[in-house]
Amino acid sequence: WVADADGLHGFDRFSGKHLEFIDFSDHAPGFLNDVEAAAGVLYVTDTGKARLFSIENGEISVLAAEELESPPNGIVWYSGADGFVLAPWGGGLDLKAWRPSEGELIELGRLPEGGNIDGLEEYDGRLIVASQVDQAIWSWRDGEAVKLFNTPGRPADIGVDSRRERIAVPYIALD
């Protein structure tokens, strides 16, 4: 699944064939950003209008909006929260998670510094966090944050290769 300005596109991951389009125009999206899937449900962040959506059986629903203090950028399932952690954009440092089982947003903790969180990944029970403000990659678990390393640019949506124990860090400004 890939988000663009108007909705979500589904592609076959082997052939690259376009399979489906989910049109968000009725919801006036601001900036659809990141997509995560679980149990047949898609979750998508709208960074431009500070919303979290779900798509189930073709129905688009707003899960969170007013209760979001920072617009959500990235999203990832995190077993430590039993929910989807939202990457706070716009200077926010509070980590929150959407728990589908309870249908609510919960507080996880606060990063000590950084901001404009873009990428999130779970690795070895930790949440790996990419912060653009301080150009750093953080490790977070049980309310404790440790800066792993500084990056040569503002890190975007990271990826983790757990087999090789590597973090892939793209940089928007460095192409």
pLDDT in tens, 82-136: 999 999 998 889 999 999 999 999 999 999 999 999 999 999 999 999 999 999 9
Three-state SS at 27: helix
pTM over 0.85: yes
The CA distance from 117 to 137, in Å, is 10
The CA distance from 66 to 105, in Å, is 11
Residue 126 near residue 145, CB atoms below 8 Å: no
